[in-house]
A and B are shown apart, each in its own frame.
Chain A
Amino acid sequence: MFVARAPCEFRPILPGPCLTDTILTETNAAMAALADRAAITAKAARNDARFRRMAGAAAAAVLLIFAGVIGALLMGALPAFKAFGFSFLTTDAWRPSREIFGAVGPIYGTLVTSAIAMLIALPVGIGIAVFLTELCPRPLRRPIGIAIELLAGIPSIIYGIWGLFVFAPWFQLHVQEPVLPAVEGVPVLETLFGGYAYGIGVFTAGLILSIMILPFIAAVTRDVLETVPSVLKEAAYGLGSTQWEVMRKVAIPYARTGVVGGAMLALGRALGETMAVTFVIGNSHRIAASLFAPGTSISAAIANEFTEATSELYTAALIELGLILFLITFIVLSAAQLMLRRLERAAGK
């Protein structure tokens, strides 16, 4: 730094300290401040870059989890791949004692219970959403809407034990027992709804699932229907349309992508749901023609048998079931996301 001392070159006009000293001190301070500032800036830049890397790493962790799920399932299922190959997907035998495993039974159960659930929950859920957006008296809209959203968050195990303790016995006594003699001799119905009144079974599981996804479908559909601009609906009313016509020809077409996307999300939930199904499906790997008969689903099979699976191959077969479930839901969820994304873009987000 500037430490040189010379005879005073700049004498102040009035008596006082030499101006050279003042200039030197101030210059020194300014230089020091500059150096400080450079150091601070450099430090800030380093911190900035580090923070950015951390955020990027966290985002990469999300990708890593996804890759890890696929990798772990593939690894775990390897013994089953080797033992059964493609025939795993075409065999319906499941005999742990003889180490024979086939996925058809659980896959059938998963697809049928989800289909039953969607067939019931979709129309009812859309009905609730329409009721909430168009017909419900205004003061009631918010409370009912909030109640439905809260119900959508209730853990599925609650629906499961309600199904086991309350719904299944009721269903056995008041639906199955009257229905069974009634369908006897009727061609198609006898096959679909024949057999014994167990209470639990594939149909009961589908019903419980439908009750579970109902609030979810209703909440999503209501959100989507609320994106329909009032101007569109008002214009249609102004032309003399009825409420039904406004809904069918204006609101639903406008919100179609969103409704379908929401329905696919709900389907993804139904396919992968474990606890609401496991309690009431009956856990039988046999495929029966009757929907009242006990069955199993992929998730129910895993939940019930995984900790009891004694052999390497048994565990691997269950993990391969998990892999199949993951792939099925991946396709459904991807489609749902792409649809909902298109909707968001259209809404200008």
Chain B
Amino acid sequence: MTAPAAPRTLANTGLYLRRRFANGLFIVLSLAAAVFGLVWLAMILTTLLGNGFAALGPHLFTEPTPPPGSMGGLSNAIFGSVVMSTGAVLLGTPIGVLAGTYLAEYARYGRLSFLVRFVNGNVLSAPSIVLGLFIYELVVRPMGHFSAIAGTLALTVIVIPVVVRTTENMLLLVPNGLREAAVALGATRAHVIRIVTWRAARAGIITGVLLAVARISGETAPLLFTALNNQFMSTDLTGPMASLPAVIFQYAMSPYEDWHDLAWGGALLITGTVLALSIIARLLEKKQRN
């Protein structure tokens, strides 16, 4: 705190008081903003934890989604989410890492790189529902029906820009001395990248993948009309598949009380997953930056 101690006897006392008043008001207002904002967020979290833990139980993981009025769990939705997220990460990570490598290692200052960065930033923040429409036109319409493949691809489109952005940023952190040392030993560019810079940036690149998983594990909008939903356990990738967010959406909008409980249980599972992934990602990123 640095309250300036001007002598009060000066002619500027009025000005001084006015400045002190303005400063006090500013401090009170920003404190109020912080309290106001944090209170809302705390309320959301406590509601989520309260309702979520009440609905939590082993049946969530062992039984599929029930028809209204009977008991059931979320096993098919959990399975679908895991399958589609895994698929999206497997497809999206290589493309994302390679594109990020191109931006950081091959064409850092190129005109094309500027365009790719710009477009990537736009896809990164584009409304996910629009990306869902894209996959609907690309996959669902030609196939004639909704499918887990379409859902996976919709999530892949979300994974790629996240991985591109973090990979590029993390590779930029690798000191040039390392690259130069490898080149001086006669390594080709590809060797330098694979053996030196990727290894040096490994924790950071994994951070990007984890952030991408965190992002897609809660995505609902792009799944609604790609993977749709499925009340039963299904392992058929060419057919509709349930996912946690889609089930939460359907059950929360329903008039049935026991479906609401399942929705809260699912919401808690998603939030827990996202928070855990974000925390691990933060720790890894910190390790990378040191």
Chain A positions within 8 Å of B107 at CB level? 59
Contact among A211, A268, A333 with B40 in the assembled complex (CB-CB below 8 Å): A211
We find that the number of chain B residues with CB closer than 8 angstroms to chain A is: 99
A55 in contact with B34 given A157-B248, A330-B122 (CB within 8 Å): no
- In the assembly, what is the distance between CA of A300 and CA of B267, in Å? 20
Is B275 an interface residue, CB under 8 A from the partner?
yes
What 3 pairs across the A-B complex have the smallest Cβ distances? Answer: A155-B218, A127-B33, A272-B127
10 of the cross-chain contacts (CB-CB < 8 Å) are A58-B99, A62-B99, A66-B122, A69-B134, A150-B275, A154-B218, A154-B274, A162-B44, A279-B253, A337-B118
Chain B positions within 8 Å of A125 at CB level? 33, 37
A73 in contact with B134 given A52-B106, A62-B116, A66-B119 (CB within 8 Å): yes
Residues of B180-195 at the interface with A, using a CB-CB cut-off of 8 Å, are: 188-191, 193-194
Contact among A134, A149, A166, A265 with B125 in the assembled complex (CB-CB below 8 Å): A265
- In the assembly, what is the distance between CA of A50 and CA of B189, in Å? 11
Binding site for A on B (CB under 8 A): 2-4, 6, 19-20, 22-23, 25-27, 29-34, 36-38, 40-41, 43-45, 47-48, 51, 94-99, 101-103, 105-107, 112-113, 115-116, 118-123, 125-131, 133-134, 136-138, 141, 157, 160-161, 164, 188-191, 193-194, 214-215, 217-221, 224-225, 228, 245, 248-249, 252-253, 260, 263-264, 267, 270-271, 274-275, 278-279, 282
A186 to chain B, nearest CB (A): 26
Residue pairs across A and B with CB atoms within 8 Å: the count is 273
Is A48 an interface residue, CB under 8 A from the partner?
yes
Interface string of A39-56 (1 = CB under 8 A from B): 000001101101110111
A155 and B220 form a contact (CB under 8 A): yes
Which has the most chain A C-beta neighbours within 10 Å: B41, B103, B119? B41
B77 to chain A, nearest CB (A): 13
B122 to chain A, nearest CB (A): 5
- Other A-B pairs beyond A62-B119, A154-B218, 15, CB < 8 Å: A44-B191, A48-B190, A59-B116, A73-B134, A153-B214, A154-B275, A155-B270, A158-B218, A218-B37, A242-B3, A242-B19, A244-B25, A274-B128, A274-B220, A275-B249
B44 and A329 form a contact (CB under 8 A): no
Residue of A nearest to B277 (CB): A153
A337 and B122 form a contact (CB under 8 A): yes
Is A299 an interface residue, CB under 8 A from the partner?
yes
Chain B positions within 8 Å of A72 at CB level? 133-134, 137-138
B27 and A135 form a contact (CB under 8 A): yes
* Segment with Cβ contacts to B, from A22-30, A89-97, A301-309: A301-309
A204 to chain B, nearest CB (A): 14
B23 and A146 form a contact (CB under 8 A): no
Residue of B nearest to A70 (CB): B134
Residues of A163-206 at the interface with B, using a CB-CB cut-off of 8 Å, are: 164-166
Chain B positions within 8 Å of A154 at CB level? 218, 271, 274-275
Chain A positions within 8 Å of B193 at CB level? 51
Residue of B nearest to A332 (CB): B125
Contact among A68, A211, A271 with B134 in the assembled complex (CB-CB below 8 Å): A68
A110 to chain B, nearest CB (A): 10
Residue of A nearest to B116 (CB): A59
A59 and B220 form a contact (CB under 8 A): no
Contact among B40, B94, B189, B267 with A158 in the assembled complex (CB-CB below 8 Å): B267
Residue of A nearest to B279 (CB): A150
Residue of B nearest to A123 (CB): B33
Is A325 an interface residue, CB under 8 A from the partner?
yes
Is A156 an interface residue, CB under 8 A from the partner?
yes
Chain B positions within 8 Å of A158 at CB level? 44, 48, 218, 267, 270-271
Interface string of A4-30 (1 = CB under 8 A from B): 000000000000000000000000000
A334 and B188 form a contact (CB under 8 A): no
B30 and A326 form a contact (CB under 8 A): no
A306 and B271 form a contact (CB under 8 A): no
Chain B positions within 8 Å of A109 at CB level? none
Chain A positions within 8 Å of B228 at CB level? 307
Chain A positions within 8 Å of B51 at CB level? 165
A124 in contact with B36 given A59-B116, A274-B221 (CB within 8 Å): yes
Contact among B19, B26, B41 with A214 in the assembled complex (CB-CB below 8 Å): B41
B98 and A58 form a contact (CB under 8 A): yes
B264 and A161 form a contact (CB under 8 A): yes
B283 to chain A, nearest CB (A): 11
B138 to chain A, nearest CB (A): 6
- In the assembly, what is the distance between CA of A55 and CA of B157, in Å? 17
Which has the most chain B C-beta neighbours within 10 Å: A158, A319, A337? A158
